[in-house]
Amino acid sequence: MPRPIQAVIHLDALQHNLNIARQATPQSKVFAVVKANAYGHGIERVYDAFKTADGFALLDIAEAIRVRDLGWTGPILLLEGFFSAEDLVDCEQYRLSFSIHNEQQVEWLEQFQAKNKTQFDVFLKMNTGMNRLGFQSEMYRNIWQRLKQSETVKSITHMMHFSDADGDRLGQEGIQYQHTVFEHTIQGLDGECSISNSAAILRHSKKLHSDYVRSGIMLYGSSPDFPTHSIQDWNLKPTMSLRSEIIAIQEIQTNDTVGYGSKFTATRTMKVGIVACGYADGYQRISHNAPVLVNSIRTQTIGRVSMDMLAVDLTDIEDVQIGAEVVLWGKSSTGAVLSIDEVAESSGTVGYELMCGITTRVPFKILE
């Protein structure tokens, strides 16, 4: 039989989390963000759970084609726009919308010779202070005027991205500065708006008007403002469970060490479980005292994570045998939950990185 590690995708949880986004923004169109292969879950695996969304948002044309091949006929938004003039041929063929965030893209669009007088739905990106993508205020209004006159543009949606919707920014509420810049800049310009990401959906939906919301990390069972709020606070459910098993048990004495570098030294007699999971599976090597579930009971890792294995403390868990279920994050077979955010915190990262980091040698299983 193969190694016992597997990543389990919970379709019911994906559907539930999409519904949470809808409930938070009932007047908005909800786009499911499936960039980075649906945050490591697999576009093909999550599609059935997300096909009730109003649209999909992603990064590149190859991902967009995969969504079309699944039968999706609705809107698809390229969040970073297109990267060459030739990309517009594919955008036309596959009926893709896209962001516009630099002047080169505007020039390519103006020069494009569309077949059958095709027109595009454009999302014009504003740089409101994150200083990543988009036009600053004065340039933004000029670009809007150019696009408004273009024969290849059907509609223009005003778009921005919050850098601090998950907390405060320089002593103020995180959305205040950017939202003020955005509202001032678009004054007098017609068009719908797309401004809310997961953190804005959950924390600020009553204060913001966003015709299109881009629900990303919240769909995948991670809290966008952890540790201020947990997934339980937002009524989100884990969508990916990384599960394995105990493959060996060691009894160790005081002053015995565990793992490479002897980084863990026992201060008492202990029972140590060895788990078939390591950094070659996508588990963070720098994790330290990371929480895990063994037979749905919470314990922690000890010592360094190896390429193929890691060690957990079984001392206070009764009746653990070879083959006992280990949940590295997600949900156990009996329903106990260990949020990916807690595990990520132990290695100084975020849940996004863990779910995107599962390697190809880990098999996936889909649960309805």
Task: Indicate which residues carry an active-site annotation.
Answer: 35, 260
Name, in order, each residue with C-beta under 8 angstroms of 73's C-beta and a sequence gap of 6 or more.
none
Three-class SS state of 252 = strand
What percent helix, strand, coil does the chain show, rounded to 5? 30, 25, 45
Q: Using alpha carbons only, what angle is made at residue 313 by residues 352 and 268, rounded to the nearest 5 degrees?
A: 140
**DSSP 8-state secondary structure symbol assigned to residue 3:** -
Residue 271's CB: how many other CB atoms inside 10 A?
Answer: 15
The alpha carbon dihedral of 152, 154, 158, 161 has a sign of: negative
From residue 225, give the alpha-carbon distance in Å to each of 38, 329, 351.
20, 18, 11
Tokens of 98: 């896209």
Q: Using alpha carbons only, what angle is made at residue 142 by residues 136 and 148, rounded to the nearest 5 degrees?
A: 125
Give me the helices (H) in the chain, please: 11-24, 35-39, 43-50, 61-69, 87-93, 103-111, 137-148, 176-185, 198-204, 340-345, 351-356
Name, in order, each residue with C-beta under 8 angstroms of 306's C-beta and a sequence gap of 6 or more.
259, 260, 278, 279
Distance CA 343, CA 201 (A): 24
Relative to beta strand 212-215, strand 29-33 is parallel
Distance CA 35, CA 21 (A): 17
Residues 35/260, Cβ–Cβ less than 8 Å: no
